[in-house]
Chains A and B, each alone.
Chain A
Amino acid sequence: MQKVNSPADVAKMRDYCQAAFARRKLRFLVCAGTGCIAGGSLEVYEEFKRVISERGIDINVDLLFEGQESEAGTVTSGCHGFCQMGPLVRVEPMGTFYTKVKAKDVEEIVTATMDENTVVERLLYEKDDGSHATTELDVDFYNRQQRIVLGGCGTIDAEDIREYFAVDGFKALATILQDLSPEQVIEIVKDSGLRGRGGGGFPAGRKWEAGRNAKATPKYVVCNGDEGDPGAFMDRSVLEANPQSVIEGMTIAAYAIGAEFGVVYVRAEYPLAVVRLLKAIEQAKEYGVLGDNIMGTGFNFDIEVFQGAGAFVCGESTALTLSIEGKRGMPRVAPRPRTTEVGLYDKPTLLNNVKSFAYVPDIIREGAEWFKGIGTESSSGTAVFALTGNIVNAGLIEVPMGIKLREIIYDIGGGIPKGGTFKAVQTGGPSGGCLPESLLDTPIDYDSLDEAGSIMGSGGMVVMDERTCMVDVARYFLNFTEEESCGQCVPCRLGTKQLLEILNDICAGKGKKQDIDLLIELSHSIHGGSVCGLGQTAANPVLTTLRYFKDEYEAHINDKCCPARVCKDLISFRINEDKCKGCTLCARACPVSAISGEKKEVHVIDQGLCIQCGVCMEKCPNKFSAVECVSPKIPVPAKEKTEVPA
């Protein structure tokens, strides 16, 4: 079966693909998300191909479609989410889940699976109690999640559309083309309570309705994949792992508002996402589910991919459309018409985030009530987060709205590594805020996070432990927004610069008592006076760290002390005389030769030469731990006057 010629063909295509894939008895699924690739997963994949082929098994997938059977095969999939433990391999149908797999382990995995009917225990995930998890269902990181958008991520081969067909792909599109009017589609999206997943949380159904009601033509559907928040990679993973779901969602949206052309705006830094998306578009056209005369119904919709060129502000809808038009991405000044009225090329444009579109096929298939049944009254469905920072299980997660921050960090994330203590969790990127321990029972939904001073954002969640300096974190974000400000309005262009300079001073030990009030006053001016969301929220990291961690600011300003021992100008390194065994490792590693001492004698750091790089502390063996970091700074002794001979 090569093409879908009518909506009814989709079910036949599904059965045909399912039957074909079922003819393969075993499948080794290698994660080829960016994280696992960095860990060498492509070499693992090549090795699987080699080892399986060596057994005389033809691994060409197409033979399955010709009705032949196969003993085993291997494919790459998109991101499984558990990036920390990558490269990941899953053996299907049993679901055996291997972590940290290297190419040299492949032979052993294949032998255990195919000849001995056992598992390779040392590559299984080790649980807290020391026992091994055989499948993902047994791993805490996974079994508390509810994966909808990420459902296809890590289970299907993103580069083979037939795998998407096999899991009911394009069934939703077939249903609406056959049975539903555009208005009925919009009604379903409205009833589902889906809110925009880009961070704003605007009800998607209302946006679609506005797009439908706009009079001008042509209309456009734009997918925002300009995931600019540092510390976030949700959209990237969806685009890399299940691009077809985004294509299907956009096509449904196009039918609903009456558009024939769409654009996916992808960040420049995501080359793999672009490759997979282009391939998915090409395959979708080939199979008749995208392009001209979709499924023989006469409905046309085409999608182009636009690569961003590196500007955070282009995540803002008006800046994004200007960027596609080949202009500088500067947000339009209010009062301005909505993008659904005047958007791309000044025509009505429906702009949603990658995840918002990816939810749509599931919502159409399962019904609005099903989606509304997940999550909370005001925020239905699930939320996707990139859980990173000082956390045991870093990766990509999907949880029902309303879950508490504590459950995410401790139950799914496994808490803070190496006995550290939790200090703060940052959500919403540069527009969000840092929440302390006392707010860990805050439920995750748009409104509760807003109330706490942070935002839901698009889904970055960075956990920080006691070694993170909150003043430095605020400075970090301001450094980012100051650089990314497009520069058209004064409050943002100059305000962020002033905030940054004050924060730089505080971190350098030059803070003044009045600085805290000044920071607050400036923050409110920037919030009130800026043109777009970037400026209006730029001060959030400052305001929330001041609200919850004011004592750290005061320590920097009053005592010239950085409690987390991060700010270089406020710390010193020294060697504990009782612990130093004189191994010379630190002295040899010191890039500025500031450490002196003979072998087996106590070493000393010359405070005048030290540049606080911390290499000595890293190098000092754990069993000694003789290098200490202290704050405030150890004063540098004045140079002794040496008599100059006459």
Chain B
Amino acid sequence: MEERLSAVLSPYEGRKDALIPMLQKVQEELGYLPEEAMMAIAKFTGTPESHVYGVATFYAQFYFSRRGRNQTKICTGTACHVKGAARVKDAFERELGLACGMTSEDYEHSLETVACVGSCALAPVVVVNDHVHGQVETGKIDKILEQSIKD
């Protein structure tokens, strides 16, 4: 991991203020932010580990445990909420056998809700592996998963 980290961090030499871009790049590389990575960033920037951890945990974008190969995000923005996002969420939880915010034991699936993906005119919206599905019906979620999950 050390090599991968130093390759990601080296462009930020001397940019203490670029902590958030650094965390983003490291997460892009590793899929989440393991403790060792945050410690490495603290060392690299010369800031306390508590500061790095404090910033990382403040923002919803960062994850601290390994996530599934397939990621399903259920939009719970206002338009989606009004158009039945809660039912969609329940249906996905049942279909995947996972509660929102969880990752399956075999690391195949992660399921989470997100505040708004900004595709409100298509509500309710679900994003599976960056593939946006609009006007989702609870009866058809097996097809959505079929279309977008990785082989």
Contact = CB atoms under 8 A, between A and B. Distances in A.
Contact of A326 (B18, B81, B91, B133): B18
A125 interface: no
A352 interface: no
Contact of B134 (A39, A329, A429): A39
B140 to A, nearest CB: 10
A231 B120 contact: yes
A244 B14 CA distance: 31
Contacts of B117: 34, 269
Nearest to A477: B78
Contacts of A464: 82
A236 B55 contact: no
B79 A388 contact: yes
Interface string B9-50: 000000011111101100000000000000000000000000
A329 to B, nearest CB: 7
Contacts of A589: 139
Nearest to B139: A618
Interface in B110-126: 114-123, 125
Contacts of B76: 230
A312 B123 CA distance: 21
Nearest to B117: A269
A480 B77 CA distance: 9
Nearest to B78: A231
A231 B24 CA distance: 25
Interface in A422-449: 426, 429
A388 B120 contact: yes
A588 to B, nearest CB: 11
Contacts of B20: 306-307, 309, 323, 326
Nearest to B18: A326
Interface in A239-296: 267-270
A615 B139 contact: yes
Interface in A403-427: 426
B87 A270 contact: no
A390 B81 CA distance: 11
Nearest to B132: A38
Interface in A366-425: 386, 388-390, 394-396
A268 B20 CA distance: 11
Interface in B85-115: 87, 90-91, 94, 114-115
Q: How large is the interface on B (under 10, 10 to 19, 20 to 34, 35 or more residues)?
A: 35 or more
Q: Which of B55, B81, B120 has the most CB of A within 10 A?
A: B120
A462 interface: yes
B115 A312 contact: yes
B115 A230 contact: yes
Given A312-B115, A329-B58, A388 B138 contact: no
B118 A34 contact: yes
A232 interface: yes
Contacts of B119: 34-35, 38, 83, 233
Contacts of B55: 326-328
A379 to B, nearest CB: 24
A38 B116 contact: no
Contact of A228 (B87, B91, B115): B115
Q: Which of B58, B83, B134 has the most CB of A within 10 A?
A: B58
A325 B77 CA distance: 28
Contacts of A310: 59-62, 115
Contact of B116 (A231, A389, A611): A231
Contact of A476 (B18, B78, B83, B122): B78
A615 B91 contact: yes
A358 B21 CA distance: 26
A480 B78 CA distance: 10
A631 interface: no
B24 A307 contact: yes
Given A34-B119, A325-B17, A614 B77 contact: no
A102 to B, nearest CB: 14
Contacts of B17: 324-326, 345
B81 A476 contact: yes
A634 B116 CA distance: 35
A613 interface: yes
B99 to A, nearest CB: 14
A269 B75 CA distance: 11
Q: Which of A233, A460, A611, A619 has the most CB of B within 10 A?
A: A233
Nearest to B75: A230
B121 A394 contact: yes
Interface in A18-74: 34-35, 37-39
Contacts of B54: 328
Q: Which of B76, B77, B78, B81 has the most CB of A within 10 A?
A: B78
Interface string A311-325: 110000000000111
Contacts of A270: 118
A157 interface: no
List 7 A-B pairs, minimum CB-CB distance, nearest first: A231-B78, A83-B121, A326-B19, A310-B60, A309-B59, A230-B77, A38-B132
Given A386-B121, A389-B78, A613-B138, 16 more contacts: A37-B132, A38-B125, A230-B76, A231-B77, A231-B116, A232-B118, A309-B24, A309-B59, A325-B17, A326-B17, A328-B55, A386-B120, A613-B94, A615-B91, A615-B138, A619-B139
Interface of B: 16-21, 23-24, 54-55, 58-62, 76-79, 81-83, 87, 90-91, 94, 114-123, 125, 132-134, 137-139
7 contacts: A233-B116, A233-B119, A269-B118, A309-B62, A312-B115, A326-B18, A613-B138
